[in-house]
């Protein structure tokens, strides 16, 4: 998936440039630009998937069960999977992507639009990128202190960021009319 995301983001960037060439800095272009930039930020969040436990490992775990077995071992056996350690977020890449996203949000904030020509859902979408920028900026400080590792409250902040991202995806989809659907 990381290789596919890189390809999709490159194609997204080409589509954003083509939209700007075709329409200029329209509402549709601003939405596409903001979404492309936020996608680049979200792509930096690690995606870890539980790994199934093989039958030999499961049998070994079952044979070692006893009264002093930690609860995590029972959780793994019940789930039949282990969750790998989350890799750190590259803070320098996060800062770079966040800066580019912030610039796109500032352009969107300054866009006055042309109400009869603006897409119907544009006004609903317009405040969302600023809210996301504030969340990402709040996330950045503890992320930098932890050098990209997990930190207290980070999971909750990441969940809120992801929820806002999904809201933005849903609100932006009917506006952009993109032939390329966003890859969350």
The two tokens of residue 7 are 């390809």
What mean pLDDT value characterizes the chain? 86
33 shares a domain with 102: yes
pLDDT > 90: percent of the chain? 45
31 shares a domain with 116: yes
Is the Cβ–Cβ distance between 76 and 125 less than 8 Å? no
Convert the pLDDT of each residue in 64-96 to its tens digit: 888 888 888 888 788 887 766 777 899 999 999
Convert the pLDDT of each residue in 142-161 to its tens digit: 999 999 888 888 889 999 99
167 shares a domain with 108: yes
Number of domains in the chain: 2
Convert the pLDDT of each residue in 109-137 to its tens digit: 999 877 666 777 888 899 999 999 999 99
- Is residue 181 a part of any domain in this protein? no
122 shares a domain with 42: yes
* Domain extent for 16: 2-48+88-176
- Is residue 184 a part of any domain in this protein? no
Q: How many Cα atoms sit within 13 Å of 54 on the Cβ side?
A: 2
69 shares a domain with 7: no
* Sign of the dihedral defined by the CA atoms of residues 134, 31, 42, 96, in that order: negative
Quote the pTM value. 0.77
- Is residue 32 a part of any domain in this protein? yes
Residue 128 neighbours by CB under 8 Å, 6+ apart? 164, 167, 168, 171
163 shares a domain with 135: yes
32 shares a domain with 99: yes
154 shares a domain with 109: yes
- Is residue 65 a part of any domain in this protein? yes
């Amino acid at each position: 998936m990381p290789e596919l995301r890189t390809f999709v983001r490159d194609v997204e960037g080409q589509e954003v440039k083509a939209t700007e060439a075709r329409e200029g800095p329209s509402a549709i272009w601003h939405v596409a630009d903001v979404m492309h930039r936020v996608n680049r930020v979200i792509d930096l969040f690690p995606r870890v998937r539980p790994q199934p436990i093989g039958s030999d490992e499961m049998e070994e775990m079952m044979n070692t069960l006893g009264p002093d077995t930690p609860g995590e071992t029972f959780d793994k056996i019940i789930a039949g999977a282990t969750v790998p350690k989350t890799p750190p977020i590259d803070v320098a890449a996060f800062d770079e992507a966040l800066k580019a996203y912030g610039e796109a949000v500032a352009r969107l904030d300054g866009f006055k639009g042309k109400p009869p020509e603006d897409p119907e859902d544009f006004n609903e979408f317009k405040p969302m990128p600023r809210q996301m920028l504030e969340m990402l900026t709040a996330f950045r400080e503890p992320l930098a202190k932890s050098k990209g590792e997990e930190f207290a409250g980070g999971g909750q902040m990441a969940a809120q960021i992801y929820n806002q991202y999904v809201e933005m995806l849903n609100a932006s989809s009917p506006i952009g009319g993109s032939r390329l659907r966003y890859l969350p």
